Amino acid sequence: GENVEQHPSTLSVQEGDSAVIKCTYSDSASNYFPWYKQELGKRPQLIIDIRSNVGEKKDQRIAVTLNKTAKHFSLHITETQPEDSAVYFCAASWTGGGNKLTFGTGTQLKVEL
């Protein structure tokens, strides 16, 4: 089955700096890669996703890149703000496999003033 690795496990940045979180996946059939943000005590929230027919996608300060050859994808947050502090999870799924999400282990992002 699919295995998703995520790095780093913790990331501390200064407000205004950029943050990058990286994930690798094992199943070359995976074709959908969402990112979720989970604040303490809250549900995971979908913040951006990318499909295998696209190499990059951007939404305001957030961008995701995908390298299918290397089987890795990354989340980029620019101009970080304190409200970006949360745990971020990457995930991967395959539409032919019932769209079941396999999650990475999570990254605790802390944006310091």
Partner 1 sequence: SAVISQKPSRDICQRGTSLTIQCQVDSQVTMMFWYRQQPGQSLTLIATANQGSEATYESGFVIDKFPISRPNLTFSTLTVSNMSPEDSSIYLCSVEDRQGFTYEQYFGPGTRLTVT
User: Please, which residues bridge with residue 45 across strands?
Assistant: 37
Residue from 7, 52, 68, 103 touching partner 1 (CB under 8 A): that is 103
Residue from 77, 94, 106, 111 touching partner 1 (CB under 8 A): that is 106
- What are residue 29's phi and psi, to 5 degrees? -80, -15
Contact between 101 and partner 1 by CB under 8 A: the answer reads yes
Identify the CA nearest to 70 among candidates 25, 20, 9, 104.
Answer: 25
Strand ranges, E, within the chain: 4-7, 10-14, 19-25, 32-38, 45-51, 56-59, 62-67, 72-77, 86-92, 102-103, 107-112
Contact between 11 and partner 1 by CB under 8 A: the answer reads no
Contact between 30 and partner 1 by CB under 8 A: the answer reads no
Between 32 and 68, name the residue whose CB sits nearer to partner 1: 32
With contacts defined by CB under 8 A, name the span among 36-44, 54-62, 67-75, 77-85 that binds partner 1.
36-44
Interface residues toward partner 1, by CB under 8 A = 1, 32, 34, 36, 42-46, 49, 51, 89, 95, 98-106
